[in-house]
């Protein structure tokens, strides 16, 4: 388990550096071209990518936090820092969207005359689409492989960035075809609304992780099926599952023969744990509480029963 944890930490650091450098290059090029070419949409896209640089730095900081071993204050370790970082990531994206929405809205209603943006803005947007697609694909693949909610959240954010850049490109195309600079500002407004949507989605999903929600409830059936393969273990109940750093913490009660020795009961509990690990992927820890037959006679206020 420790080897897997260290490997995940190394992947998180490496992915964060790739994201930081890649986004820094894209952000600098889009902001510079947006200023030179006079495109508010490209500028907005550049600001959004600049936020991704901040997000990548948050990921780097988190990567070093989760490396710390468990302590008395944090007996389960620091893996939950990923969930906190994902919340911060979502709030940063949300704030950027709102900050972009307000000036875009003002400019639309100001009636101010604007010139057509320069052609360079189209080329930098095409470059951005390719770069963002590559970064998003890389992060999503790595995040799925190592089970990192934070990397996957960042990959989803970058998938949204690809759509944003495609929208910018479409806006620039119609701006030139129709000779209407106002469309560049309208595109910027639409982009800001999309950024707000992405930010809200990340915040809500990350909040669910911190509140120990179980996204795929089929895992309950997997655990009960695993217990069912141990003949001596009966009536699995009071099952509670939560995620710690992308891995499962499983806690449940089972009933055994009441006259059984402590050693024999312990051996069966070990077999239950082994069976669950064979059935469920990415297990962080398992706690099996043993009770004598018939001891479970009341409705539990929490947990799932067979």
What does the pLDDT profile of the chain (306 residues) look like in tens digits?
556 666 766 777 788 788 788 888 888 887 787 777 777 677 777 777 777 787 777 777 877 787 788 888 888 778 778 778 878 878 887 887 787 787 777 776 766 655 556 677 778 888 888 888 888 888 888 887 777 777 777 787 777 778 777 877 777 777 777 777 677 777 778 877 887 888 888 888 878 777 777 777 888 999 999 999 998 988 888 899 888 767 788 999 999 988 888 999 999 999 999 999 999 888 888 999 988 887 655 666 677 776
- How many Å apart are CA 22 and CA 250, to the nearest integer? 38
- CB-based contacts of 255, cutoff 8 Å, min separation 6: 233, 234, 235, 290, 291, 292, 293, 294, 295, 296
Strand 234-244 to strand 247-256: parallel, antiparallel, or no bridges (unpaired)? antiparallel
- How many Å apart are CA 264 and CA 230, to the nearest integer? 13
Paired tokens of 232: 């001596």
Contact between 171 and 186 under an 8 Å Cβ cutoff? The reply is yes
Q: What is the per-residue pLDDT for 276? A: 93
Per the DSSP assignment, residues forming a β-bridge with 133 are none
Contact between 37 and 122 under an 8 Å Cβ cutoff? The reply is no
Q: What is the per-residue pLDDT for 251? A: 92
CA 13-18-23 angle, 5° bins: 125
Per the DSSP assignment, residues forming a β-bridge with 244 are 247
- How many Å apart are CA 177 and CA 301, to the nearest integer? 64
- 49, 114, 174 from 91: Cα distances, Å: 15, 32, 32
- Three-state SS for 235? strand
- How many Å apart are CA 198 and CA 178, to the nearest integer? 30
Contact between 185 and 168 under an 8 Å Cβ cutoff? The reply is no
Q: What is the per-residue pLDDT for 305? A: 75
Query: Does the pTM of the predicted model rise above 0.85?
Result: no
- How many Å apart are CA 100 and CA 47, to the nearest integer? 9
CA R_g for the chain: 25
Q: What is the DSSP string of 55-70?
A: HHHHHHHHHHHTTSPP
* Per-residue pLDDT reduced to its tens digit, 143-199: 877 777 777 777 877 777 787 778 777 777 777 777 776 777 777 788 778 878 888
Region of 147 (left: φ > 0; alpha: ψ -120 to 50; beta: rest) is left
Contact between 247 and 282 under an 8 Å Cβ cutoff? The reply is yes
CA dihedral (233, 237, 238, 240) positive or negative? positive
- How many Å apart are CA 99 and CA 195, to the nearest integer? 10
Taking the CA of residue 19 as centre, how many other CA atoms within 13 Å lie in the half-sphere pointing to its CB? 33
Structural domains for the chain: 2-210 (1.20.1510.10), 218-292 (3.30.70.1350)
* Per-residue pLDDT reduced to its tens digit, 99-131: 778 777 777 676 665 555 667 777 888 888 888
Q: What is the per-residue pLDDT for 275? A: 93
């Amino acid at each position: 388990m420790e080897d897997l944890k260290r490997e995940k930490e190394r992947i998180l650091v490496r992915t964060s550096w790739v994201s930081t450098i890649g986004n820094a290059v894209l952000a600098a090029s889009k902001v510079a071209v947006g200023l030179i070419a006079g495109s508010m949409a490209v500028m907005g896209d550049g600001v959004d990518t600049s936020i991704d640089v901040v997000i990548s730095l948050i990921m780097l900081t988190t990567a070093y936090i989760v490396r710390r071993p468990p302590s008395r204050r944090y007996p389960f370790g620091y893996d939950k820092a990923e969930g906190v970082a994902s919340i911060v990531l979502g709030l940063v994206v949300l704030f950027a969207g709102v900050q972009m929405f307000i000036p875009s809205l003002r400019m639309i209603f100001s009636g101010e005359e604007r010139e057509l943006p320069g052609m360079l803005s189209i080329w930098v947007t095409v470059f951005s689409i390719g770069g963002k697609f590559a970064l998003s694909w890389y992060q999503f693949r790595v995040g799925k492989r190592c089970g990192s909610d934070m990397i996957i959240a960042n990959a989803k954010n970058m998938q949204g960035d690809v759509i944003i850049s495609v929208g910018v490109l479409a806006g620039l195309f119609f701006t030139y075809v129709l000779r209407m600079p106002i469309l560049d500002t309208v595109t910027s407004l639409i982009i800001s609304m999309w950024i707000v949507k992405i930010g809200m989605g990340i915040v809500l999903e990350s909040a669910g992780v911190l509140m120990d929600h179980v996204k795929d409830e089929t895992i309950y059936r997997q655990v009960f099926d695993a217990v069912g393969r141990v003949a001596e273990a009966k009536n699995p109940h009071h099952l509670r599952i939560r995620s710690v750093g992308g891995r499962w913490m499983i806690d449940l009660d089972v009933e055994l023969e009441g006259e059984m020795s402590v050693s024999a009961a312990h051996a069966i509990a070990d077999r239950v744990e082994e069976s669950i690990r064979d059935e469920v992927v990415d297990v962080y820890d398992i706690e099996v509480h043993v009770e004598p037959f018939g001891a479970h006679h009341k409705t539990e206020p929490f947990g799932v029963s067979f």
